[in-house]
Amino acid sequence: MSSLILASASPRRRELLEQIGVAFTSVPVDIDETPAPNEPAAEYVARLALEKARACQQLRGEGPVYLGSDTTVTLDGHILGKPADEEGAVSMLMHLSGRQHQVMTSVALVQGAHEAVETVVTDVSFRALDEAICRRYWHTGEPQDKAGAYGIQGMGAVFVSRMEGSYSAVVGLPLMETAQLLESFGVPVWHAPAT
């Protein structure tokens, strides 16, 4: 059985892995998350997920399986990252208002030279918003570290009128695909801890 290291400090990703009974250690990594010029969103999230896993392996050495993941929100093909400030968040939310957008999440596994990456796309529709509710939402503190300036697993759920695809991917880790990748690398899900 291979040991797993999550290349992230994200509490959401930790909770999702715990939800499917995976034994792991969390090791945060810091990489440049700037999109390359004209980089398509799907390539961007896949690259970041892989770079996180690789960076963690460079830190900790070969042997364990390293899991990196990244999530981005796209509207009309444009990447919506984390908002820099209140005005940026309000602008993002107003662009999402009453429209459908895509949430892309990639999960990458690296063990030595063996690498695998999968990207999941979920369609999310927002109800119509006004500027006042966007500003109220900003002041909850929730959107400040979220791609697209909202969290579906928190207070931002009230904006979502419809979703087609993987809920867990929108939160930060597509669980079905992650479980399949983990098992292909010899990392079991529903792992019972030793007693």
Domain, as residue range, for 135 = 4-184
Q: Is residue 178 part of a domain?
A: yes
Q: Is residue 84 part of a domain?
A: yes
What domain count does the chain have?
Answer: 1
Q: Is residue 189 part of a domain?
A: no
Q: Is residue 56 part of a domain?
A: yes
The pLDDT, as a whole number, for residue 2 is: 76
Q: Is residue 57 part of a domain?
A: yes
CB-based contacts of 109: which residues, under 8 Å, 6+ apart? 53, 65, 66, 67, 115, 116, 117, 181, 182, 185
Residue 13 to residues 31, 153, 191, 192, Cα–Cα distance (Å): 17, 12, 17, 20
Q: Is residue 130 part of a domain?
A: yes
Tens of each residue's pLDDT in the chain, 195 residues: 679 999 999 999 999 999 999 999 999 999 999 999 999 999 999 999 999 999 999 999 999 999 999 999 999 989 999 999 999 999 999 999 999 999 999 999 999 999 999 999 999 999 999 999 999 999 999 999 899 999 999 999 999 999 999 999 999 999 999 999 999 999 999 875 544
Q: Is residue 128 part of a domain?
A: yes
Q: What is the CATH number of the domain that holds 60?
A: 3.90.950.10
Residues involved in catalysis: 70
The pLDDT, as a whole number, for residue 1 is: 62
Q: Is residue 149 part of a domain?
A: yes
